[in-house]
Amino acid sequence: MHKTGMIELEVVLAVARRNSFRGAAQELGMSTTAVSSAVAGLEARLKVRLFNRSTRSVALTDAGQRYVERIAPALAEIKSAGEEIGAGPDQPSGTLRINVPYGAANLLLVPLFDQYARRYPEVSIDIVSESRLIDVVAEGFDAGIRLAEFVPQDMIAVPISGDTRMRVVATPEYLERHGTPEHPRDLLNHKSIGMRMAHGGLYHWELEHGEQKLQMDLPVRFAFNELLAIKQAVQLGLGIGFICEWFIQDELKTGALVPVLTQWCPPFGGLRLYYSGHRFVPARLRALIDLVHELRLAES
pLDDT digits (tens, 9 = 90+) for 124-152: 999 998 888 888 887 889 999 999 999 99
Query: Checking DSSP bridges between strand 51-53 and strand 58-60, what pairing results, if any?
Result: antiparallel
In the predicted structure, residue 2 carries a pLDDT above the cut 50: no
> Residue 88's pLDDT is what?
54
pLDDT digits (tens, 9 = 90+) for 29-43: 889 999 999 999 999
Dihedral sign (CA 128, 129, 132, 134): positive
> Residue 173's pLDDT is what?
97
More confident residue, 189 or 3: 189
pLDDT digits (tens, 9 = 90+) for 257-266: 999 999 999 9
In the predicted structure, residue 277 carries a pLDDT above the cut 80: no
pLDDT > 90: percent of the chain: 61
In the predicted structure, residue 23 carries a pLDDT above the cut 80: yes
All structural domains of the chain with their residue ranges: 1-91, 166-264
Q: What CA–CA distances, in Å, run from 97 to 16, 86, 213?
A: 15, 19, 37
**Helices 62-87 and 283-295, axial angle in degrees (round to 10):** 80
What value does the mean pLDDT of the chain take?
A: 89
Classify 166-264 by CATH class.
Answer: alpha beta
In the predicted structure, residue 87 carries a pLDDT above the cut 90: no
Domain 1-91 and domain 166-264, same fold? Reply is no
Q: What is the mean pLDDT of residues 196-223?
A: 90
pLDDT digits (tens, 9 = 90+) for 199-211: 788 889 999 999 9
In CATH, which of 2.60.40.420, 1.25.10.10, 3.30.70.270, 1.10.10.10 is domain 1-91? Answer: 1.10.10.10
Is the pTM of the predicted complex or chain greater than 0.85?
A: no
In the predicted structure, residue 82 carries a pLDDT above the cut 80: no
b/e sequence 101-124, b meaning 16+ C-beta within 10 Å: bebbbebbeeebbeebeeebeebe
